[in-house]
Structure 1
Amino acid sequence: MHPAKVHRYLVSLIRMDYAKQLEDGQYALGDQAWRLGLNCIQHSDTLQLVQHLIYDLQSKIGCGIQISKWSPKGPVVVQSIESNHPISIVTKVGSIMPLVNSAAGRLFASYLPEHFVRPLLETEWQKHQELGLNIAPHNWEEFLELKETIRQQQMSAAKGDLLTGINAVGLPVFNSNQGIEFCIVALDSEMFLPVDPQSKIIETLKNEINSINQYIKSR
């Protein structure tokens, strides 16, 4: 295609907010394109199939629920349900969660192929170093140790890592090929959501998400 014609297409896409030009002259998806993609993700067959089970889960544990799916930038929040408790943390739908220190990020990083997640982790570590932040895990070796624990327990946890006094616990929901389809994160104040794998609420959370996985498998 002639460069002039390509330029006209790009100008049209930018005007409609489907594309944007970056500072280095490269082009990326615009906000409207992201919204369109997010809308498709939100209405995926598997997620819609288990909506009633997700709301049942929330009513049983009382904590806030955050659903994340994988995107090229990392975990993106596609659904958020408020907690029943006085302090309610609601994550904005469309938010990209960090891999290093969020429950969703740690979970996806532990279940997806390493060549997908390592470049994103390295980018986050570089930013932390530039800003002088001391956030664990600090490097690839420490992450591999955390990954082993997450895979053994089949859950990830963030104990006040993003917000002081707010805990989050993430568990995987798998597709028919046993790949991670999306992540369910329970989040609440440390008073209502201990991150101890042996606690009653974590046991309930694991049982309910196991039921969700079995339900998907049986379809």
Structure 2
Amino acid sequence: MRPKRASTDHKPKEDRHFVTALARGLEVLACFRHGETTLSNQELALRCKLPKSTVSRLTMTLTKLGYLIHIEESGRYRLGTACLALGSALLAKLDVRKIAHPLMQELANLTGTSVSLGVRDKLSMIYVEHCRSNAALTLTLDVGSRMPLVASAIGRAWLAAASDSDREQALAQARELDVKAWPGMQAGVNKAMEDYRTLGVTCSFGDWNKEVNGIARAFDPGNGLPIMAINVGGPSYNLTPEFLINEVRPKLLDLVRAIEDALPQ
């Protein structure tokens, strides 16, 4: 595995080059979650923790630029085609997806699972590639789906592979977001760190969804790209922890090594 990189997170309030208005506009766009079609100014204001008047100005600007579409009948907003252009351009440049896809599909078919490649976005992991087997009992997820950073196997894999400072910052944000649930989250992360050292993977057996089991491994693709992780999972009634650990884990580790070997140095 490639060496861990230094932290790249910045504290906006300490950076004189940080453009607050731009950041707020991007926060508005980030409010749209997988499966959600439209949001109102009120919903956006709650999620961004900004005054509704500020959000109204931001949505108007984003609409004029094509990043949002205003639905006059309901007064709500949906993502515009300018966002699609940005996302498509990014995915097209992720060569690691082209390398990983056939290997992921082979593993999915061989094990009857769903295999996903994800990158971190704040307290979530976003799928940028997703393969499922022909088996009927697989997860109905796809590219763009979000997994919780602390509770999912793929999120825990990122935490295990991240630099100490990046991991500590992410966990501090998770703790601040839900203080009451933090002891349980911390216990899960501590167990995941130990699993990563002893098994080479992180696990989530019903932690983020009681009906879903999964294991994951992270890697650094280099070339300025962020740490990525590959998750293998599926319904808990079909994929037992024993099957994932004993049968799937060696194949997942081989898959990640194959991707790392194929990536340009």
For normalisation by structure 1, the TM-score amounts to 0.71
User: Do the aligned partners of residues 165 and 90 (structure 1) sit closer, same or farther apart at CA in structure 2, a change above 3 Å counting?
Assistant: same
Q: 1:154 touches 1:172 (CA, 8 Å); kept in 2? A: no
User: 1:190/1:97 Cα in 2 relative to 1: closer, same or farther (>3 Å)?
Assistant: closer
| Maintained 8 Å contact 2:108/2:114 | yes
Shift of 1:49: 2.7
Distance 1:83 1:69 in 2: 22
Task: Report what 1:186 is aligned to.
Answer: 232
Gaps (5+ residues) in structure 1?
A: 1-5, 20-29
The answer to whether residue 159 in structure 2 is matched with residue 109 in structure 1 is: yes
Task: Give the SS at the match of 1:168.
Answer: strand
Aligned-residue offset at 1:62: 1.8
Equivalences for 1:65-84 in 2 at 5 Å? 65-72=115-122, 74-84=124-134
Counterpart of 2:157, as a letter, is L
Query: Residue 247 of structure 2 aligns with which residue?
Result: 200
* Alignment pair present for 1:172 and 2:172: no
- Partner SS, residue 231 of structure 2: strand
Moved over 6 A (4+): 177-180
Q: Deviations over 1:143-177 (max 9, x none)?
A: 35632432443211110112223101111243247
Equivalences, count = 199
* Residue type of the alignment partner of 1:39: S
Q: Does 1:215 align with 2:265?
A: no
Residue 88 of structure 2 is aligned to residue 42 of structure 1:
no
- Per the alignment, residue 174 of structure 2 pairs with 124
For normalisation by structure 2, the TM-score amounts to 0.60
Residues 1:153 and 2:174 are matched in the alignment = no
Q: Residues 58-69 of structure 1 correspond to what in structure 2 (within 5 A)?
A: 58-69=108-119
**Contact 1:77 1:95 survives alignment (8 Å):** yes
In the alignment, the residues of structure 1 paired with residue 170 and residue 66 of structure 2 have an alpha-carbon distance, to the nearest angstrom, of 25
Q: C-alpha separation between the residues in 1 aligned to 2:89 and 2:104?
A: 19
The aligned counterpart of 2:37 is: none
| Match among 88, 93, 96 for residue 138 of structure 2 | 88
Is 1:13 matched with 2:62?
A: yes
Q: 5+ unaligned residues in a row in structure 2: which ranges?
A: 1-21, 23-56, 69-77
CA distance in 2, matches of 1:121, 1:175: 23
> 1:157 is matched by which residue type in structure 2?
C
CA contact (8 A) 1:66 1:91 kept: no
Change (3 A) 1:120 1:176: closer
Q: CA deviation at 1:96?
A: 3.0
**1:56 is aligned to 2:102:** no
Identity %: 17
Q: In 2, distance between residues paired with 1:35 and 1:136?
A: 37
Structure 1 stretch displaced more, 142-151 or 107-116: 142-151
Across the aligned residues of Structure 1 and Structure 2, the Cα RMSD in angstroms comes to: 3.5
Q: Distance in 2 between matches of 1:195 and 1:37?
A: 38
Assess if the C-alpha contact under 8 Å between 1:167 and 1:189 holds in 2. Answer: yes
- Residue pair 2:132, 2:138 contacting (<8 A) in 1 also: yes
1:126 counterpart letter in structure 2: E
Per-residue displacement from partner, 1:168-193 (whole Å, max 9, x unpaired)? 11112432479864211111123443
What is aligned with 1:23?
none
SS in 2 for 1:89: coil
Structure 1 residue 115, shift from structure 2 partner: 2.6
